[in-house]
Amino acid sequence: MQDFSTENPGTTSAGALTPRNLQDIETLVLATLGEVLQTSPLRPDQDFLDLGGNSLTAAQAIARIQDAVGVQLPLEAFFEAATLEEIVNWVHDLTVGD
C-alpha cells in the first residue's frame, strides 16, 4: 500500500493519514482492494463483486481504509457501487466531509 506520510504529513485525530486529493484516495483504495481481493492491478471501471468480492472482503477493506484515512465506509457501499470508482468517490466524499 502507498505510504502517504511523505506526501502529506497531515493526520486525523485518530492518527490516520489524510490523502490530499481524489487521485491519492483512488491509489489507496485500489491498492487496498487489490490486497484484500488478492489481485492486481485493479482499474476503477471494474466491479467489486465481479472480482470475487463478498461481505468478508468488504469488511476487510473497510477496516483497512478506516485505518489508512480515518473514515468508516458503510458495508453497503460495496454492494451498491457499480464500479470501484464509485467506492473511491464514496471514500473521497467521506474524507472531504470530515
The pLDDT profile of the chain, 98 residues, written as one tens digit per residue, is: 444 433 333 444 445 556 778 999 999 999 999 999 999 899 999 999 999 999 999 999 999 999 999 999 999 999 999 999 999 999 999 988 75
Instruction: Specify the pLDDT at position 28.
Output: 94
Instruction: Specify the pLDDT at position 96.
Output: 85
pTM above 0.85, yes or no: no
Give the separation between CA 11 and CA 48, rounded to whole angstroms. Answer: 28
CATH number of 22-97: 1.10.1200.10
Give the separation between CA 39 and CA 67, rounded to whole angstroms. Answer: 21
Return the number of other C-beta atoms located less than 10 Å from residue 69's C-beta: 27
Contact 52, 32 (CB under 8 A): no
